[in-house]
Amino acid sequence: DAKTTQPTSMDCAEGRAANLPCNHSTISGNEYVYWYRQIHSQGPQYIIHGLKNNETNEMASLIITEDRKSSTLILPHATLRDTAVYYCIVRAPFETSGSRLTFGEGTQLTVNP
Amino acid sequence: EADIYQTPRYLVIGTGKKITLECSQTMGHDKMYWYQQDPGMELHLIHYSYGVNSTEKGDLSSESTVSRIRTEHFPLTLESARPSHTSQYLCASQSDAIDTQYFGPGTRLTVL
């Protein structure tokens, strides 16, 4: 699976959009970009994933660049409860990767009042 | 939202005890996983199962064992707990519909 690079930490004001970047310059054509987050002491929570098109759900939006070498997770209106470590993971479908999720260090997002 | 449960949430035991950490899911997922995570550190896969009677060791060596007799149940056992086993243990199951994993709340184990 391709390696990802994320900033160690970010701050965001409550109510503003949080934009979390991720670089994955060695991504392969069949690899998806997944985002999870982990609130302190809890299990990781799935947020969103995509292949090459931008995706949106009730939690967030995922913007993938045209060359697929980077992506941005957007939380449109961050709240204090969004404070967590956010993980960007690149992974091939189960049929080729065996579903291994490799979590890196992630980005610690702190939403401030 | 996924329905995956882990018990106990917290456990403090003495060295040498045998313990079993429970994990159950009600979604009928075939694939289930156990991860280990120390505070502030990365998650590491220690066991996984792709269905009943299927179990495999993960990327991180672990002295624990697992079993998968029923689809919904994937318990993890430590025959003789040691202080080095102190960690958080996270269970996950996988949805084939969208090829992603859902995690339980975790069990925080402390071995004295």
Confidence at residue A58, expressed as pLDDT on a 0 to 100 scale:
94
Per the listing, tokens 């220690």 go with B46
Q: Is A51 on the interface with B (CB under 8 A)?
A: no
Return phi, psi of residue B84, to 5°: -65, -15
Predicted pLDDT at B90: 96
Q: Measured on CA atoms in the order A82, A86, A91, A97, is the torsion positive or negative?
A: negative
pLDDT of residue A98: 61
Best CA proximity match to A72, nearest among A84, A55, A91:
A55
Residue A111 has pLDDT above 70, yes or no: yes
Q: How far apart are the C-alpha atoms of B6 and B24, rounded to whole Å?
A: 7
A49 touches chain B (CB under 8 A): yes
Cα separation, A91 vs A97, whole angstroms: 7
- Cβ of residue B98 closer than 8 Å to a chain A Cβ: yes
Q: Could you tell me if B33 and B25 are in contact, meaning their C-beta atoms sit under 8 angstroms apart?
A: no
Residue A49: enclosing H or E segment and its boundaries? strand A45-50
Q: What is the mean pLDDT of each successive set of 10 residues along chain B, which is 112 residues long?
A: 87 96 94 90 89 89 91 96 95 83 94 96
A104 touches chain B (CB under 8 A): yes
Kindly list the residues from chain B whose CB atom is less than 8 angstroms away from the CB atom of residue A95.
none
pLDDT on residue A1: 60
Provide the pLDDT for residue B55. 94
pLDDT at res. B1: 54
Query: Which tens digit of pLDDT belongs to each residue from A30-89?
Result: 889 999 999 987 899 999 999 998 999 999 999 999 999 999 999 999 999 999 999 999
Q: With an 8 Å Cβ cutoff, are A99 and B94 in contact?
A: yes
User: Distance (Å, rounded) from C-alpha B21 to C-alpha B47?
Assistant: 13
Per the CB < 8 Å rule, is B45 touching A100?
yes
